Amino acid sequence: MGLLIAAYASLAAWLWLTLAQGMFWRTDTRLPPRTAPARWPSVAVVVPARDEAEVLPRSLPSLLAQDYPGRAGIVLVDDGSTDGTGALARRLAAEQPGLPLTVLSPSDPPPDWTGKLWALRHGITHVTQGVPEAPEYLLLTDADIAHEPDSLRELVAAATTGGLDLVSQMARLRVVSVWERLVVPAFVYFFAQLYPFRRINRPGARTAAAAGGCVLLRTEAALRAGVPDSIRQAVIDDVALARAVQRSGGRIWLGLAERVDSVRPYPALADLWRMVSRSAYAQLRHQPLLLAGTAAGLVLVYLVPPAALLAGLASGRTAVAVAGGLAWLLMAGTYLPMLRYYRQPAVLAPLLPFTALLYLLMTVDSAVQHYRGRGAAWKGRTYARPSDA
């Protein structure tokens, strides 16, 4: 009886997710309709970088080569790198004519700041204070993100056409290794399930999120929201940024990218594990009850369907098998559009329960590392939860 109840509960959850969770499974949310503005506003591209010498030769040239009709420049903030990131950036800029590049090297972040946000603060301050004319927009992009030559132009056109204060695209992550194929599309699928793009993009929406690798932000909106100072402790800074802009009255938009790509490799499971576990518990606000609820929810939604189907078939319990099979079918069906977006075979769709189990283990490990004093660790830095900072 217990398995039958769980199977029906899982099926009900999948019916609700499929029909009522903002059509999260659709992947056609791309840059909205746009036209070229009569006057192209000025833009400063701010790139926080810490030990990025491995990926910079594939990402920075794409920014230098931006075909933008207005005034634009790049500020790369070298956040205490030990691998020659700053010197490499200067050399790349000297070798390739394009947008002007400035490299800054701030001091170490104070205890109540994350490194990335401290670097962003340094870059934003540099381009907005003590200058004759501050840029009208800021493009905040990570050092591992490569942009097609028209990326900045299209982002600005979308913002000006739609009267948007924040336009963010979730870069297409690298999918080459076996583990990347198994884990990466699911990462974006789970993110969209938590933060349905269509729900975020509605006027007056309460749901807010952004993808930190590519955020075009109106400078006036940033100042009004007090960012990055107001979110200086945020480990999941992109969602915190979007919430701050939205709460201050700004309009935000988030969608999938077509011509913006992450070049950072995650070839082994251990690489992906670190990527997820470093912030998973922070997403749950470091709350044990939220962790327990999340674990229970993942088990019910993702693990019960295959277990119910197999157990039902083995024991001849038709109702259990049918409920589990239908739930698993809905799960796989809603995952197919994301697999197509990442150009992956449909055969991976039924494997989503296994990937969800991996994410559950990563989340639990994130909590364990937090209580061991190693939570939210990234590139030699470990961040306490905000109340402990």
pLDDT of 144 > 90? The answer is yes
Give 173's Cβ-side CA count (13 Å radius). Answer: 24
pLDDT of 384 > 70? The answer is no
Structure token digits, residue 50: 């810490």
pLDDT of residue 385: 53
Structure token digits, residue 179: 């583990």
Which pairing describes strands 43-49 and 72-78: parallel, antiparallel, or unpaired? Answer: parallel
Per DSSP, which regions of the chain are E strands? 43-49, 72-78, 101-104, 137-141, 145-147, 166-172, 214-218, 252-262, 377-378, 381-382
- C-alpha dihedral over 371, 373, 377, 379, to 10 degrees? -160
The answer to whether 64 and 93 are in contact (CB under 8 A) is yes
Residue 88: phi and psi, rounded to 5, are -65, -40
The answer to whether 238 and 212 are in contact (CB under 8 A) is yes
**Cβ atoms within 10 Å of 4's Cβ, excluding its own:** 15
User: How distant, in Å, are the alpha carbons of 171, 298, 346, 356, 375 from that of 185?
Assistant: 12, 17, 12, 12, 25
372 pLDDT tier (thresholds 50, 70, 90): confident
CA separation for the pair 202, 183 (Å, rounded): 29
The answer to whether 77 and 48 are in contact (CB under 8 A) is yes
pLDDT of 307 > 50? The answer is yes
pLDDT of residue 381: 57
Query: Mean per-residue pLDDT for 84-112?
Result: 95
Q: How much of the chain exceeds pLDDT 90, in percent?
A: 90
CA separation for the pair 268, 178 (Å, rounded): 8
pLDDT of 374 > 80? The answer is no
In order, the DSSP letters of 16-62 are: HHHHHSTTTT-----SPP----SSPPPEEEEEEESS-TTTHHHHHHH
